[in-house]
Chains A and B, each alone.
Chain A
Amino acid sequence: MAGDLKRANLPPLSLHVPEPKFRPGDKADYSDLVIPAAGEAQRPDVSAKPDSFHGLAYSLVRVLDDEGRAVGPWDPKLSPERLRAMLRAMALTRAFDERMFRAQRQGKTSFYMKCTGEEAIAVAAAFALDRDDMCFPSYRQQGLLIARDWDLVDMMNQIYSNKGDRLQGRQLPIMYSTKEGSFFSISGNLTTQYPQAVGWAMASAAKGDTRIAATWCGEGSTAEGDFHSACTFASVYRAPVIMNVVNNQWAISSFSGFAGAEATTFAARAIGYGIAGLRVDGNDPLAVYAATEWAAERARTNQGPTLIEHFTYRAEGHSTSDDPSQYRSANEGSDWPLGDPIARLKQHLILLGEWDEERHAAMDLELAERVKASAKEAEKNGILGHGMHQPFETMFEGVFEEMPWHLREQLEQAVNEKKVAGL
């Protein structure tokens, strides 16, 4: 195999397999990570052609500086009320995650996924979008629902797959779906929502509607064919859609290098498709808001899609099913140079004289109590337990609009099994 005499004077080929810089036991060191200063990135006119700002795909849109000041052309100049509402939604998302993660550890459900450190990406986007803009999320954008004031008990019912679950116990916990909340049914298969969001946006455009679509996927799943199909369709038909890539550095245990991050940025994927591309500090709620607002205006004025890479860090494990200390450095999260989105917005509000530590502590307490009360309420409908909360018939309903004979027969069998089992 290696004895090709024809090229004996050439060194053998070697295969490059990416390896993250730090593994367990290593001290993560971010000194060679280039972080552009806040306020530095230019803000193109909404009508600018995508090829006139390629630099933004390699830079980082940042608004909040290290002291908590909002600087530069991307400052969305939000009112203190709006900033406090955003802070509150992020804090509530974190409190919700804490409680539900613990509920899984207490055996109340099978699975949970936190978005710790990534709250700004969903919450700030929800604030920048209209309430009826259609969201096609991945599994870590619970902040969208929370920012849209969705009922926590309703979300928890889904997590517990209990009698109150609007999805009748059919979906894995956190795979929410609500048409009323303009929140598309989450799939466990990665990035399938991307072409769907583009299709929804195309339909909206074809119908002369004014609503736009937004979708999210992780950096790891940009490798899926669906991502590229979606980018092609979005570009070809100038679909009114915002495509968000949440680059939280890790896809379960695979670092972003396995999706191509060693070679380029994820925002740069936009360039080849002729789509507007932005790379944004995902831990900066004002930057996420500003980028989403800009992209939404582009979409709503028929100027086409935008791909936004949110540069962030997954502060916790992928889900309740993995232990990140087994594959990454212990201080990687705590030393993340872009900080924590909640702490940064809090600092900003305090600097403005619109917030203080006492109010923040009181808010955290109030939100924890609210989440706790919601959990108690949801648990009245049952926890997952043995799972037998829904009538057996519901398992066969909704496969088709009308139940065909073969499912009716299988339903009879299931009901009979229930009798035999004495349930």
Chain B
Amino acid sequence: MIEAQTVTDGRGDTKRMNMIQAINSAMDVMMARDTNVIVMGEDVGYFGGVFRATAGLQAKYGKTRVFDTPITECGIIGVAVGMGAYGLRPVPEIQFADYIYPALDQLVSEAARLRYRSAGEFTAPITVRSPFGGGIFGGQTHSQSPEGIFTHVSGLKTVIPSTPYDAKGLLIAAIEDNDPTIFFEPKRIYNGPFDGHYDRPTSNWSNHPGGEVPEGYYRIPLGKANVVREGEAVTILCYGTMVHVVASIVAEMRVDAEIVDLRTLVPLDIETIEASVKKTGRCLIVHEATRTSGFGAELSALVQERCFYHLEAPIERVTGFDTPYPHSLEWAYFPGPVRIGEALKKIMKD
């Protein structure tokens, strides 16, 4: 179900990669192509990042292009904005999405507004990479999904991949993009897809088509969703880890669902969403983030506005609860197979 037509020439041979390796490869490819691309963040240099996403890059490209930073997210993004204004193309890493809040002012008031407020003279072509989401027993400070905070901000793009293949192609597109982009990496699926069953054996990317990744350059355009599974009965809108959880429960329940992996939240691929919901007449929205004012609320409003006369049942949302992400009760919090299954039964019955 990979969109082969999005691949450009010169991508080279493919290789089995997990999502970390694919992300590393994207930065490697871009640093080789463009000397203005620089990578910075806490522990990203010599050590290669706490998740190893930047491993080997400093040795290959030198300390002035790949370097460790002080532990100040405000400073990391503020410095990246200045570097962008100079003409560089910074790819800062925020070690966990949960740590991004000290950088919020620099992202919201500065990076996102710079093009607008300078009438195009200064821009912030920054790609902020950050691992996000739960499912690794990270507790409330290593599990959050704050994408809704950023999709609410005018001037920011938000991208969330669900496979190694997509991660590399989307990250390359984000780095090449001249606008600031938040690139959230679902860390639960760094090493393999996740079916949502915490009590079953984990799998890795070696058996998944999305783990086959070209070694060279290719890009997946931002703003294009991927229909992971075609179906007639219900449209399921999801992204990141939840794409795999949804696919698993759909297979288990034998529902003829159309699964749409959004891949980019802003700008959103509204055409694909609209066409799918008009075809199926039902819409289930699944995300891991908290419910109230989450991105699912925006999706629900859009589908209602555009597809109301095609709907056979009320739009359903499956989300994390409006609590902090708990540690011990992680799997009670996580919107797993039971919560999704109940919602699917309900929407199919209506």
Q: Is the CB of B38 within 8 A of A195?
A: no
Chain A hits for B324, CB < 8 A: none
Chain B 171-198 per-residue mask, 1 if CB under 8 angstroms from chain A, else 0: 0000001110000000000000000000
The listed residue (B74, B113, B116, B178) touching A195 by CB distance below 8 A is B74
Interface residue B87 (Cβ < 8 Å from any Cβ of A): yes
The listed residue (B75, B84, B115) touching A233 by CB distance below 8 A is B75
The listed residue (A187, A201, A236, A398) touching B119 by CB distance below 8 A is A398
Chain B hits for A398, CB < 8 A: 115-116, 119-120
- With A195-B106, A399-B154, A404-B266 as known contacts, state yes or no: A229 contacts B74, CB within 8 Å: yes
Q: Which residues of A (154-189) have their CB < 8 Å from a CB of B?
A: 166-168, 170-171, 175, 177-179, 184-185, 187, 189
How many interface residues does B have (CB within 8 Å)?
47
Q: Is the CB of A189 within 8 A of B117?
A: no
Of the stretches B15-23, B65-73, B285-293, the one at the interface is: B65-73
Q: Is the CB of A229 within 8 A of B78?
A: yes
Closest to B90 in A: A199
Q: How far is the CB of B103 from chain A (nearest CB, A)?
A: 10
Interface residue B216 (Cβ < 8 Å from any Cβ of A): no
Closest to B180 in A: A400
Q: Is the CB of A187 within 8 A of B110?
A: yes
Closest to B109 in A: A189
Interface residue B82 (Cβ < 8 Å from any Cβ of A): yes
Bound CA span A192–B85, Å: 14
Interface residue B342 (Cβ < 8 Å from any Cβ of A): no
Chain A 209-252 per-residue mask, 1 if CB under 8 angstroms from chain B, else 0: 00001000000000001101110110010000000000000000
Q: Is the CB of B122 within 8 A of A199?
A: no
Closest to B155 in A: A399
Chain A hits for B110, CB < 8 A: 187, 189, 192, 196
Q: Is the CB of A206 within 8 A of B65?
A: yes
Chain A hits for B86, CB < 8 A: 134, 199-200, 203-204, 207
Chain A hits for B81, CB < 8 A: 195-196, 199
Most buried by B among A136, A177, A213: A177
Interface residue B270 (Cβ < 8 Å from any Cβ of A): yes
Q: Which residues of A (347-390) have their CB < 8 Å from a CB of B?
A: none
Given A194-B78, A404-B223, A406-B268, 20 further pairs, Cβ under 8 A: A170-B116, A170-B119, A177-B118, A178-B121, A179-B118, A185-B114, A185-B122, A195-B79, A195-B106, A196-B79, A198-B75, A198-B79, A199-B79, A203-B86, A225-B74, A226-B74, A229-B74, A232-B75, A233-B72, A405-B268
- With A192-B105, A203-B88, A399-B155 as known contacts, state yes or no: A179 contacts B83, CB within 8 Å: no
Q: Is the CB of A405 within 8 A of B267?
A: yes
Q: How far is the CB of B208 from chain A (nearest CB, A)?
A: 31
- With A204-B86, A398-B120 as known contacts, state yes or no: A196 contacts B155, CB within 8 Å: no
Interface residue A67 (Cβ < 8 Å from any Cβ of B): no
Most buried by A among B77, B85, B113, B267: B85
Interface residue A202 (Cβ < 8 Å from any Cβ of B): yes
Q: Is the CB of A401 within 8 A of B178?
A: yes
Interface residue B245 (Cβ < 8 Å from any Cβ of A): no
Interface residue B64 (Cβ < 8 Å from any Cβ of A): yes
Closest to B67 in A: A237
Chain B hits for A197, CB < 8 A: 82
- With A170-B117, A177-B121 as known contacts, state yes or no: A200 contacts B270, CB within 8 Å: no
Bound CA span A171–B116, Å: 9
